[in-house]
Amino acid sequence: MALASEVHALAGEPEVLPGLRAGKVAVWWFLASETMVFGGLIASALVVRLGGEGWHEASAHLGVTLAAVNTLILLTSSLTVVQAFAAAARGDRASTSLSLALTVAGGLAFLALKAVEYTTEVRAGYTPASGIFWSFYYAMTGLHALHVAAGVVVNAVLLVAGRLRTPQRVELAGLYWHFVDVVWIFLFPLLYLS
């Protein structure tokens, strides 16, 4: 980051748009493009579903209870990441670490439960090739799980590498983590409650 901060420090002059931090602008643009990735998947699923049949029956084979617990875990981790930012902003390092650790734990728990779900479904004979619902189910939740894993890595880096941990970075990691949560809020009803 030395170089990036050099470039910014060298610019030196007052910002054209006050309060506009490069990192935040970049994360928002990144999330906008990510929205379109999941938006494309979700729109595809909706369109294919409207023109097809058998979705409701296939969806009934999913374990709603486990997924609901998972939803709860993921949403709670969104709370802890906000607490991490609040703690970092007031300079409370211990509290920041605790909240980040809880966030990472939440993400790992989500992935573990997701793995249990996948195992159960594959054992019951529902693989990605079992039909269009299952194709979408595995692709959407799989891509989402990859995003959760990426968020866990980012939060874990902030947790472990205290030198890198600034309030701004915690905030940016939190923005991404919220995005991952919001995507799940769309996927959960679309796949499990249909």
Residues that bind other proteins (CB under 8 A): 3-4, 6-17, 20-22, 25-26, 29-30, 32-41, 43-44, 47-48, 51-54, 128-129, 131-136, 138-139, 143
Question: Which tokens belong to 129?
Answer: 């090739």
Length of the chain: 194
Closest distance between other proteins and the C-beta of residue 183, in Å?
12
| Shortest Cβ 1–other proteins spacing (Å) | 8
CB closer to other proteins out of 61 and 83:
61
- For the bound state, the minimum distance from the C-beta of residue 11 to other proteins, rounded and expressed in Å, comes to 6
- As a whole number of angstroms, the distance between CA 44 and CA 115 comes to 25
Could you say which DSSP state residue 1 is in? Answer: -
Q: How far from 25 is each of 36, 71, 152, 172, CA to CA, in Å?
A: 17, 29, 22, 10
Minimum CB distance to other proteins, residue 26 (Å): 4
Distance CA 133, CA 123 (A): 17
- Residue 8 beta carbon to other proteins: minimum distance, rounded to whole angstroms: 7
Is the Cβ of residue 110 or residue 137 nearer to other proteins in the bound state? 137
The answer to whether the beta carbons of residues 25 and 8 sit under 8 Å apart is: no
Nearer to other proteins by C-beta: 26 or 124?
26
Cα radius of gyration (the chain): 19
Largest CA distance in the chain: 63
State which residue, 105 or 139, has the beta carbon closest to other proteins: 139
Toward other proteins, which CB reaches closer, 120 or 130?
Answer: 130
